[in-house]
Amino acid sequence: NLQAGIVGLPNVGKSTLFNALVENGKAQAANFPFCTIEPNVGIVQVEDPRLKVLSSISGSKDLLPATVEFVDIAGLVKGASRGEGMGNQFLTNIRNTDAICQVVRCFEDDDIIHVAGKVDPLDDIDVINLELALADLTVLEKRVEKLKKGKKSSDQAERDEVELGALAKIQAAIEAGRGARTATLSRDEAAAVRGLGLLTLKPLVYAANVTEEDLASGGAENPHVKALRSRAAEEGVEVVVVSAKVEAELNELPKEEAREWLESLGVTDGGLSSLVRATYSTLGLQTYFTTGEKETRAWTIRKGMTAPQAAGVIHSDFEKGFIRAETISYSDYVKHGGYGGAKEAGALRLEGKEYVVQEGDVMLFRFNV
């Protein structure tokens, strides 16, 4: 299961957000085996309105949404890359995640101390990103030193050249203050450095934590959010506006009151579901569906997976014995009122081993046992 790490300076709202994510998951988990693996790891459902639509067509009893794991990585402070705070431990925890969700404080509140004395999102992300970049540079330097040493076969020398080329590009990107993810790498180069676990190469989402007044406008009136958005655009990183506090308070309220409060704020939620969806997609994940009388289920695959690989997510036997996949796009399934109608209309495709599964495909696998 892929994990996203929640990072950020102290007092920006990480724990509030993490707890809201976990509580929200519990509240919605009527027939879903929700669990917290460790105190700081939560499995969160990816809300998807398509599940309801599909289940009403196929008459399913149960709905099973896709999930993504969030890890609360507290305590990243200035100097972490030099081992300050519990620096190295935190960097190791981040290294073990697949993506980073960086919480950025965009709310003013005199009662809540800001570590740098004032709310300044650009300053805050510079501090965090610099620590991550410094940690990466240490890894880079060690790796370059190692690659340059010793005699090697010509095959190995060639591979090392590719990697050294990639490392040089990454180093330039980091030194320009933009993080490894902005380096343009060929497919081979990307593969060569994948194992290094570089922190600034991990996909990133900024969660702009705002107060309730800013939710409806998406932070359009909030100068901190504006500044964050323009920086993120330069970096090619997505910003999601969320209110950790609103989400936390929603979990305390009876359903009807929660609904009324949201209505008065002019929103349908506190931004949590958008954050989860953005994280899911940043992780390079997508969804296909199976649907029938028993259940409608969203399955998670990596973008680019073939039909047999997608089948293997359900069960390894499905992959081994794969024959073909009866495939209907989500929109065709809805348009033609389900399997039968889609088949009649010629919208059901028989896809083979090479088929790359598309977002929202409704699939039925045929396989040998």
Q: Which member of 93, 102, 129, 209 binds ligand GDP (CB under 6 A)?
A: 209
For the chain, the straight-line distance linking the first and the last C-alpha, in angstroms and rounded, comes to: 26
Using CB under 6 A as the binding rule, whether residue 211 contacts ligand GDP is answered as: yes
Q: Which residue has the tokens 């088929």?
A: 355
Beta bridge partners of 70: 4, 42
**Can you tell me the distance from the alpha carbon of 135 to that of 4, in angstroms, rounded to the nearest whole number?**
19
Q: Shortest distance, CB of residue 15 to ligand GDP, whole angstroms?
A: 3
Nearest alpha carbon to residue 44 among 30, 14, 65: 65
Q: Which residue has the tokens 């989500």?
A: 330
The dihedral through the CA atoms of 199, 200, 204, 208 has a sign that is positive
DSSP state letter for 306: B
Q: What is the maximum alpha-carbon separation in the chain?
A: 71
From residue 334, alpha-carbon distances to 168, 249, 301, 362 in Å are 50, 36, 22, 10
Binding mask 97-116 for ligand GDP (x = CB under 6 A): ----------x-x--x----
41 labeled binding residue: no
Which DSSP string do the residues of 143-156 spell out, in sequence order?
HHHHHHSS---HHH
| 11 versus 156: smaller Cβ distance to ligand GDP | 11
210 labeled binding residue: yes
294 labeled binding residue: no
| 193 versus 215: smaller Cβ distance to ligand GDP | 215
Q: Shortest distance, CB of residue 260 to ligand GDP, whole angstroms?
A: 20
| 243 versus 290: smaller Cβ distance to ligand GDP | 243
Q: Shortest distance, CB of residue 12 to ligand GDP, whole angstroms?
A: 4
Q: Shortest distance, CB of residue 110 to ligand GDP, whole angstroms?
A: 10
| 113 versus 191: smaller Cβ distance to ligand GDP | 113
Q: Which member of 67, 129, 182, 243 binds ligand GDP (CB under 6 A)?
A: 243
| 5 versus 13: smaller Cβ distance to ligand GDP | 13
Which DSSP string do the residues of 20-51 spell out, in sequence order?
HHHHHHHHH-SSS----SSTTEEEEEE--THH
Binding mask 115-154 for ligand GDP (x = CB under 6 A): ----------------------------------------
**C-alpha neighbours within 13 Å on the C-beta side of residue 285:** 24
Q: Shortest distance, CB of residue 130 to ligand GDP, whole angstroms?
A: 18
11 labeled binding residue: yes
Q: Extract the tokens encoding 214.
A: 């800013």
Q: Extract the tokens encoding 188.
A: 């081979």
Q: Which member of 245, 306, 325, 336 binds ligand GDP (CB under 6 A)?
A: 245
Query: Helix, strand, or coil here: 293?
Result: coil
| 42 versus 312: smaller Cβ distance to ligand GDP | 42
Say if residues 325 and 355 touch (Cβ distance below 8 Å).
Answer: yes
60 labeled binding residue: no
Using CB under 6 A as the binding rule, whether residue 274 contacts ligand GDP is answered as: no
Using CB under 6 A as the binding rule, whether residue 176 contacts ligand GDP is answered as: no
Residues 71-90 that bind ligand GDP (CB under 6 A): 74
Residue 80's CB is within 10 A of a number of other CB atoms, namely 24
**C-alpha neighbours within 13 Å on the C-beta side of residue 134:** 16
Sorted by sequence, the CB contacts under 8 Å of residue 57 that are 6+ apart come out as 291, 333, 334, 337, 338
346 labeled binding residue: no
| 273 versus 300: smaller Cβ distance to ligand GDP | 273
Q: Shortest distance, CB of residue 9 to ligand GDP, whole angstroms?
A: 7
| 85 versus 338: smaller Cβ distance to ligand GDP | 85
12 labeled binding residue: yes
Binding mask 4-33 for ligand GDP (x = CB under 6 A): ----x-xxxxxxx-----------------
Q: What are the residues binding ligand GDP (CB under 6 A)?
A: 8, 10-16, 74, 107, 109, 112, 209, 211, 243-245
> Which residue ranges make up the annotated binding site?
11-16, 210
